[in-house]
Each structure stands twice: as structure tokens, then as C-alpha cells.
Amino acid sequence: MFQTLYSYFWWERLWLPANLTWADLEDRDGRVYAKASDLYITLPLAFLFLVVRHLFETYVATPLAGLLNVKEKVRLKATPNAVLEKFYAATTKHPKQADVEMLSKKSGCTVRQVERWFRRRRNQDRPSLLKKFREASWRFTFYLIAFIAGMAVIVDKPWFYDLREVWKGYPIQSMLPSQYWYYMIELSFYWSLLFSIASDVKRKDFKEQIIHHVATIILISFSWFANYIRAGTLIMALHDSSDYLLESAKMFNYAGWRNTCNNIFIVFAAVFIITRLVILPFWIMHCTVFYPLDLYPAFFGYYFFNFMMVVLQSLHIFWAYLIIRMAQKFITGKVVEDERSDREETDNSEEEEELAKNGPLSNGHPVLNNNHRKTD
């Protein structure tokens, strides 16, 4: 049965145009072609990325946070309460009004005290500012290096300037060593992001991030199987061109460098919109949808690849909407929170009634923070 499924999965008509077989993509005469087995290395490399990330965050990002004066706000801790803690851990972190009234009777606390306890308890579980800075530093470093490496891989290739060259001779296109390593590193990194997403800071767009990582992994893997390598390198470099700007804006935001953060975010918004809403759909997707049909009839792989591109493009439109809203607030000076992926799923830290009495806490920076709401 396994052999039957294996045969169906690797059926040439799924992956290759008509009249072509896997035998046509076997290495010969010094020409090397992409093979599915090449991708096995990406899983151990993904775990290696996790190790490197841990070392980077410990020995590079943490000292850097200290140099940039990244500081935590004081968080009021919830008073130990066995009844409330049991409900918090076993039932929900966000009790309904009926639950609050029930817990008030069981714990001997007032309704207001129960509500305050849950707010403080949720805030205790929120990731620290240092954790968020370390994560942003790691992603910034990778995306910047990956973008530079990606441009080095494709800038001297003819298909970088003429997209019709992407399909010249397809699928009999030999693979270059630079393309091999670019693919392996990018795919390994996205595997590592998927493996660590549960322990990373949970954002408002958590589900969209999972969809994005899975779609990216599928796209990279499929483009490798079907020898869409030229198109794949262009798409990966295009995505990396804006991501490092967002992560650097986050880093400066966490450090309290508000003006620097705002300026970088405006640049990021412009680059994101140009690359994801203009170049990707009107150049790259046009290239993958129309040009191949001049060479061979459409097949399953053609439809599948472009469907996954549409999934990614839909996420880009969703994020672009949030980014544009945020950019408008930067320009008008009405910035309150980050509209994109830096909004946490958990409640934001709050200084509650005690801070209203004693005045706002200061950590050397303005109380207004781009990522945090001032109300619960």
C-alpha cells in the first residue's frame, strides 16, 4: 500500500509537463538537477537553526538589549489564590461575567478583585520586552543576511532582468551550487520558525503566521520538486527584501527609540507595498501564470504552484491593510499600537488603578509605546 501511495504521489503528470519523466532530470554530462531527497537535510538544519538562535539570543541579542537600554515596565503580580489559579489553568484565562460572579463567591473576593486578579495573572504570562527584542533581533539578522545572499545568487542571472528567461529550457534547467544552498537555508529557517512558533511571542495574527509558514514551506518544497528553482529564488529574495526592515523597527520600538522606529516603519511600509502588492502580483505571478503556457500545456503542478501563490498573496493583502492603517497613524501622529504582527494575543500590560493614583511608571522612555494599548 505504501508503495502504491508513493507511486501516485510521484506520478510524473502531477509534477512535470506532458511528455517529460523523472529520467529527464537525472544528472548527466556535468549537469545537476534538483532532487526531492535533497530536502531531507533541511530538518536537521532547522534544529541547528534553533541551536544557533538560542546562542545568538543569549550572547548577542541580550547584550545588545542592554546597550540599547531595553527595560521592562513594572508588572503588578496577582495575589496567590488557589481557587482562581485552578480556574485560570484548567478552564479559561478570560472568564465570563457569570464565571466571575461564581468565582467571587468561591474565593471570598469581590467581583472587582476577581477581575483585577485575572488581568494581573494574564499580564504575568505575557512575554517580556527582552524576549520580544531577542526574537526580533534574530529574525532581523537572518532576513538581512538572507536578502544579501539572495541578491548575490540572482543579480547576475539573466532571469533577474528578463522574466521570460525563468522558463527558458524548462524543466531541463541544471541547478547551481548557490541555488542549492539558498534553498536549503531558506527552507530550514522556515521549518525552524514553524517548530518554534508555539513558544514564540503569540501575536494577533498567530493563525495567519502559521498559514504563511506552511504555505511558504510547501511552495519552496514544491518549486524544488518541480524544478521551479529560478522562480523560487526570485520569490524568496523578494520576500526577504522588506522583512528585515520590520524587525529592525520592532527592535528600536522595544528600545524606546520612537522616532527611529517610526521612520523605519514608513520605509518598511513602502517597500512592502511595492514588493508584495506590485512586483509580486504584476511581475512574478504574471511570469508564473502566463509565460509557462507558451512552452507547455497546464498541468497539476502549474495549478498547484499558482494556487499557493494566491494564498500567499491573500496574506500579503491582509497584512498590507494593517500596515497602511499603521502608517497613516505614524504620519498623522496618532500612533497607539502596531496594526500588524506585533500585537499580542494576551492582554497588554496595564498599570491599573494603582498607577492612576501614583502617576504613570517611567522607565526612561515615554509611556506611550507603539505596540501596547493603554486600556484593557
pLDDT in tens, 168-222: 988 888 899 999 999 999 999 999 999 998 888 877 778 888 888 998 999 999 9
Predicted confidence (pLDDT) at residue 352 exceeds the cutoff of 60: no
pLDDT in tens, 280-300: 999 999 999 999 998 888 888
Residue type, 25: L
Predicted confidence (pLDDT) at residue 363 exceeds the cutoff of 50: no
Cell numbers at 292, concatenated: 509557462
User: For residues 30 and 152, what is the distance between their CA atoms, to the nearest angstrom?
Assistant: 23
Cell numbers at 305, concatenated: 504552484
Instruction: Find the helix or strand (DSSP H, E) in which 221 lies.
Output: helix 206-225
Domain assignments of the chain as residue spans, ordered by start: 28-68+128-332, 82-125
> Is there a contact between 83 and 103 (Cβ–Cβ < 8 Å)?
yes
In sequence order, what DSSP letters do the residues of 252-302 get, joined into one string? HHHTT-HHHHHHHHHHHHHHHHHIIIIIIIIIIHHHHHTGGGGTS---HHH
pLDDT at 286: 94
Q: Is the pTM of this model over 0.85?
A: no
Helix, strand, coil share (%) of the chain residues, nearest 5: 70, 0, 30
Most confident of the following: 266-270, 331-335, 368-372:
266-270
Tally of CB atoms within 10 A around 347: 18
Predicted confidence (pLDDT) at residue 154 exceeds the cutoff of 50: yes
User: For residues 42 and 183, what is the distance between their CA atoms, to the nearest angstrom?
Assistant: 9
Instruction: Find the helix or strand (DSSP H, E) in which 116 lies.
Output: helix 111-125
Three-point CA angle 260, 265, 269, nearest 5°: 155
- Fold classification of 82-125 is Arc Repressor Mutant, subunit A (1.10.10)
User: Which DSSP category does 21 fall into?
Assistant: -
User: For residues 96 and 101, what is the distance between their CA atoms, to the nearest angstrom?
Assistant: 9
User: For residues 181 and 128, what is the distance between their CA atoms, to the nearest angstrom?
Assistant: 35
User: For residues 225 and 16, what is the distance between their CA atoms, to the nearest angstrom?
Assistant: 9
Average pLDDT over residues 106-131: 86
The 10 Å CB-count burial string (b at 16+, else e) for 34-47 is bbeebbeebeebbe
CA-closest candidate to residue 160, choices 172, 178, 143, 142: 178
Mean pLDDT across the chain, nearest whole number?
84
Q: Which residue is it, cell 538581512?
A: 144
> Is there a contact between 361 and 343 (Cβ–Cβ < 8 Å)?
no
